[in-house]
Structure 1
Amino acid sequence: MRFTFQPIRVATGFDEEGMMVLDEKQRLVAVLVRLSDDNEVAAGQWYLEAGFGWLDGGSHPTFSNLDLAQDWITQRLAHRAPA
C-alpha cells in the first residue's frame, strides 16, 4: 500500500503542523499532527489526530517519524481490507 502525505495546517489550538494521509485512490484516510517540542508527553512526535474508515476508533497513537506512521496505517488497513 502506498500513501501520499500532504502538509496542512490543523487548527488544534496549539500544534498546527499536520499531514493529510491519502491512499492510492487519493482518499483521505488520516490526519497526523506533529506535537510541538514543548509537549511534555511526546515532544516532536506525530499524533494520529483523526483516522477515517478502518482507522477510526479509540486508538490515537504517536509515532517518532512519518515512516512509522505509514507502517502502522498500512498494517491496520491490510488487516481490514476485503479479500
Structure 2
Amino acid sequence: MSFTFQPIRVATGFDEEGTMVLDGEQRLVAVLVRLSDANEVAPGQWYLEAGFGRIDGGSHPTFSNLDLAQDWIGERVAHRSSN
C-alpha cells in the first residue's frame, strides 16, 4: 500500500515537527510527531500522535524512522482490510 507523507507543524505543546500520513486516496490516516532529542523516553523517534480509521486504537508506538512507520501503518491497514 502506498502512503504520502506531508510535513506539518503539530501543536502538541512540546514537539512540533510532524507529518500527516495520507493513503492512496489522499485520506488522512495518521499524524506522526518527531520527538525532540531532549525527550527522555524516545529521543528523535517518530510517535503516532493520532490514528484514524483502521489505524485508530489504543496503540501509540514510536518508530526510529518514517519507513518503519509506513510499514507498521501498512500492516495495520492490510490486517484490518482482511477481517
Same fold (TM over 0.5): yes
CA distance in 2, matches of 1:19, 1:63: 13
Task: Provide structure 2 residue ranges, at least 5 long, that are not aligned to the other structure.
Answer: none
User: What is the correspondence of 1:1-83 to structure 2 with a 5 Å cutoff?
Assistant: 1-81=1-81
Q: CA deviation at 1:54?
A: 1.1
Q: CA deviation at 1:82?
A: 5.0
TM-score (norm. length: structure 2)? 0.97
Q: CA deviation at 1:81?
A: 1.1
Percent sequence identity over aligned pairs: 83
Supply the RMSD in Å over aligned alpha carbons: 1.0
Provide the aligned length of Structure 1 versus Structure 2.
83
